[in-house]
A and B are shown apart, each in its own frame.
Chain A
Amino acid sequence: MSFINLLWVLLLGSLLGLELIGKVPPTLHTPLMSGANAISGITMLAALTAIIKSEPGSPLLIIGSISLGFALFNVVGGFLVTDRMLAMFSRKPNKKK
C-alpha cells in the first residue's frame, strides 16, 4: 500500500466524517462526544500490529502491550459509559409501550 494511496484514504475518511454529523440535537452532544471518543481508541489496532510484528524479546512487546492497555481502557470504558447515558433516554419509550 503506497503512501499516496493512504493519503487518499485519509482524505476520503475526513470527508466522510464531515458529512456524517449534520444536525445533532444538543441532548446528544455528550453521548456523541463520548461515543466518538471510544472509536478513537481504534489505535488499539496499531498497538496490536506492533506487538505481532515485534521481534522476539524486543522491548516493543511491552511498550505495545501497555499501549494496547491504554487503548482498550478508552474503548471499553468509552462504549460502556456511552451506553449508560443512552440507556437513560431509551428507558422512557419502553415503559409507555
Chain B
Amino acid sequence: MEFSSIINFSLELLAVLLLALGIKGLSKVRSAREANILAAFAMLISVVGLLLSNYLGESGIPDQSWKWIIIGSLVGSLFGAILAKKVPMTSMPETVALFNGFGGMSSLLVAVGMSLFDPSKLEGNLKLVTNISIAVSVFVGAITFSGSIAAMAKLQGWLSTPGWTQLKARHFVNIIFGVISLIAFVYLLKGNPSSIWLLVTSSTLLGIGVTLPIGGADMPVVISLLNSYSGIAAAAAGFVVGSQLLIVAGAMVGAAGLILTQVMCKGMNRSLISVLFGGSLSAQSTASSGSREYTNITSCSVEECALTLEAANKVIIVPGYGLAVAQAQHTLREVTKKLEQNGIEVVYAIHPVAGRMPGHMNVLLAEADVPYEQLKEMDVVNPDFPATDVVLVLGANDVVNPQAKNDSSSPLYGMPVLDVQEARTVFVIKRGMSAGYSGIKNDLFDLPNTSMVFGDAKKVLNDLIGELKDLGVGEK
C-alpha cells in the first residue's frame, strides 16, 4: 500500500470514529457542546486527509484545482458563518431548513457535474454503478433542496398553505412527478446524459409538491426527515466518487435523522405517514370542530392577574411559540424573578413540541437565563397541576387543549397535552381569539377557571411587572 493511501485510510478511520462519538455525545445534555466541536474537528480531519493523500499521491493536486477549492471554500464558509452569527434564535427552524437545503444542493451539483463531465471515462458495469449512484444522488439531492426551501419559505411566512394544495388531486400530481423521475432515471442508466435535466426538474417539483401541503405544525418533522434525506444524498454522492468515509457519514446521518424524526412524531402523536400524506391539520378541522363557537369567555385585566399571582404559592408557566414571536422571554424572566423573590414557587412546563421545533423553547428560555432546573418536561409536571394555584399560558394553544383528552372526534385527540385545566386558576395571555397552529377551537378558553388576558405577550408582561411593583411584590 502506498504511503498516501495509508495516511488517507488512517485519517478516514479517525474521522468516522470521531463523527460517531460526536453524534452520540450530541444526544446528552452534558456532553453536547463538546460533541459538536468534536464532530466539527472530525470534518476538518476528513478534509485534511483527502487533500493530503491526493497531494502526496502520484498525480498530485493541480494548481487550478487549488484555485477553485479555495474560492468555493472561502465564499461558502463566509456566508455560512455570517448567517449563523446573525440569525435570531427564534428563526432557528427555518435556518436549519436552509442549511439543509444547501447540503442537498451540493450533492445534486456534484452528481450533475460528474455525470456531464466525468473525467474517469468508465465503461461497462462500473459505468452502470456510477450512473445509478448519480441518479440517486440527483433525485434525493433535488428533493432535499426544493423541500427544504419550501419548508423554510413556509416557516418564514413567505408561503402560506394554499387551499388547492389540500385537494386529493395533489397525490395524483405528485405521483406523476414520481413517474417522470423514474422514466428519467431509466433513460439516464441507458446512457442518455441529457435526461439528467428531466430528473432534476421532476424531482425538484416532487420535493415542493410533497412539502407544500404540509401544515405549519408538522414542519419540524418534515425538516428532520429532509435532514435524513440529505444524509442519504451524501451517501449516494459517496458512491459517485467512491469515498467510504462519505458513505459511512451519510448513512449515519440518514439513519440517525430517521430515528429523530420518529421520536418527534411520537411527541406530537402523529405518524410519519399522516404527516407526509395527511395534509394540513387545519384544513381537516375547519369542517369538523373548527366551526364551533366560544360561548363562555372570561376576559380579565392585567391588574386582576397580578393580584391573583401575588396570592399564589405555586405558579406554572406554559410558554409557547407566541412568546418567542413577541420576543418576551426576557420580560417573562423578570416577572418570574419578582415572584420568586416573594417566595412563590415558579416552574416552566415545557411541552415536547413547544416552540416550533422540539427543544426550541428550551433554547429560547435558556437564552433568557432561566435556570435549567426550572424547566420541567410534560410527564414530570402534569401530576403537579392539581396542586397549582395559577397557570400562566403564554402564546401556547394546542398543547393545552383538553380536547386532546376528552373529545375523540377532535383531530387533536390522543396528542399528549399539559393538563393546565386541573389548576385553580388559568390565565391565558393571547393577542386575540384566533386559533392555534392546528386551527382548532380550544375548549380550555371556555372553562370557568380560565381567564383571558388579551394583548401582545411582551406588553402584557411589562404591564404585569408594573402592577406587581405597585403591589410591592419582589421588593424585600
Residues of A within 8 A of B (CB): 1, 3, 6, 9-18, 20-93
CB distance from B333 to the nearest CB of A (A): 13
* 3 tightest Cβ-Cβ pairs between the two chains A and B: A17-B255, A13-B251, A77-B80
* A14: chain B residues within 8 A (beta carbon): 251-252, 254-255
Contact across chains for A78 and B251 when beta carbons are under 8 A apart: no
Give chain B's interface residues, CB within 8 Å of chain A: 19-20, 22-24, 26-29, 32-33, 35-37, 39-40, 43, 46-47, 50-51, 54, 61-62, 64-65, 68-69, 71-73, 75-77, 79-81, 83-85, 87, 89, 92-93, 95-96, 99-100, 102-103, 105-107, 109-110, 112-114, 116-117, 119-120, 126, 129, 223-224, 227, 230-231, 233-235, 237-260, 263-264, 267, 350, 352, 357-360, 362-363, 366-367, 371-372, 375, 377
Task: Tell me the bound Cα distance from A82 to B72 in angstroms.
Answer: 23
Q: Known contacts being A38-B99, A66-B72, is A80 close to B80, with CB within 8 Å?
A: yes
Given the known A-B contacts A37-B96, A48-B50, A68-B73, are A10 and B247 also in contact in the complex, defined by CB atoms under 8 Å?
A: yes
Q: Min CB distance, B364 to chain A, in Å? A: 9
Given contacts A26-B352, A46-B240, A68 and B26 within 8 Å (CB-CB)? no
A55 to B358, CA, bound (A): 47
Contacts of B83 in A (CB 8 A): 73, 77
What's the nearest-Cβ distance from chain B to residue A83, in Å?
6
CA distance A57 to B367 in the complex (A): 50
Residue in B closest to A3 when the chains form the complex, CB atoms? B129
Of A20, A55, A70, A85, which one neighbours B256 at CB under 8 angstroms? Answer: A20
Q: A26-B267, A30-B360, A46-B243 are in contact. Are A63 and B61 (CB under 8 A)?
A: no
Residues A26 and B69 in contact, CB atoms below 8 Å apart: no
| Residue on B nearest A82 in the bound complex, by CB | B36
Q: Are A30 and B358 in contact (CB under 8 A)?
A: yes
Known: A40-B100, A61-B65, A81-B92. A13 touches B39 (CB 8 A): no
Interface centre among A12, A37, A58 (most CB of B within 10 A): A37
Which residues on A sit within 8 Å (CB–CB) of B254?
Answer: 14, 17
Which of chain A's residues has its CB closest to B108's CB?
Answer: A67
Measured CA separation A20–B246 after assembly (Å)? 18
From residue A97, how far is it (CB to closest CB) to chain B in Å? 14
Q: How far is the CA of A65 from the CA of B156 in the complex (A)?
A: 29
Q: Among the listed B20, B224, B247, which residue makes an inter-chain contact with A33, where contact means beta carbons less than 8 Å apart?
A: B224
* CB proximity of B371 to chain A, nearest CB, Å: 6
Task: Tell me how far the C-beta of A11 lies from the nearest C-beta in chain B, rounded to whole angstroms.
Answer: 8
Q: How far is the CA of A74 from the CA of B230 in the complex (A)?
A: 11
B372 to chain A, nearest CB (A): 5
Q: Are B64 and A49 in contact (CB under 8 A)?
A: no
A30 touching B92, Cβ below 8 Å: yes
Distance in angstroms from A16 CB to nearest chain B CB is: 6
**A35 lies within 8 A of B242 (CB):** no
The answer on a CB contact under 8 Å between B23 and A17 is yes
* Cα distance, A92 to B357, chains bound together (Å): 22
Q: Report the Cα distance A34→B27, complex, angstroms.
A: 12
Q: A33-B223, A40-B100, A52-B61 are in contact. Are A18 and B117 (CB under 8 A)?
A: no
Interface centre among B109, B110, B233, B256 (most CB of A within 10 A): B110
A43 and B103 in contact, given A6-B244, A50-B114, A68-B72 (Cβ under 8 angstroms): yes
Given known pairs A16-B20, A81-B99, A82-B36, the reply for A46 and B363 (CB within 8 Å) is no
Distance of A14 Cα from B253 Cα, bound (Å): 8
Bound complex: CA A32 to CA B64 (Å): 37
Give the docked Cα–Cα distance between A37 and B77 (Å).
Answer: 15
Bound-complex Cα distance A26 to B24 (A): 15
Inter-chain CA distance A96–B288, complex, in Å, is 52
**Judging by beta carbons under 8 Å apart, are A34 and B247 in contact?**
no
Task: Give me 15 A-to-B residue pairs in the complex whose CB atoms sit less than 8 angstroms apart, sorted by A's number.
Answer: A20-B23, A30-B96, A33-B357, A35-B22, A36-B227, A37-B96, A37-B103, A40-B230, A40-B231, A43-B106, A50-B110, A63-B117, A76-B76, A79-B39, A89-B372
Contact, CB under 8 Å: A84 / B84: yes
Decide: B357 and A16 in contact? CB cutoff 8 A: no
A27: shortest Cβ distance to chain B, in Å? 4
The reply to whether A21 and B106 contact each other, CB–CB distance below 8 Å, is no
CA gap between A27 and B143 in the complex, in Å: 28
Contact B119 A37 (CB under 8 A): no
The answer to whether B23 and A21 have CB atoms under 8 Å apart is yes
- A60 and B250 form a contact (CB under 8 A): no
Asked whether, in the complex, the Cβ of A43 is within 8 Å of the Cβ of B246, the reply is yes
Complex Cα spacing A78 to B104, Å: 14
Partner of A35, one of B23, B62, B249: B23
- Of B27, B40, B65, B96, which one neighbours A28 at CB under 8 angstroms? B27
Residue of A nearest to B79 (CB): A73
> Which residue of B106, B113, B366 contacts A41 across the interface (Cβ within 8 Å)?
B106
Q: Is there an interface contact between B84 and A52, defined as CB atoms closer than 8 Å?
A: no
Q: How far is the CA of A32 from the CA of B253 in the complex (A)?
A: 11
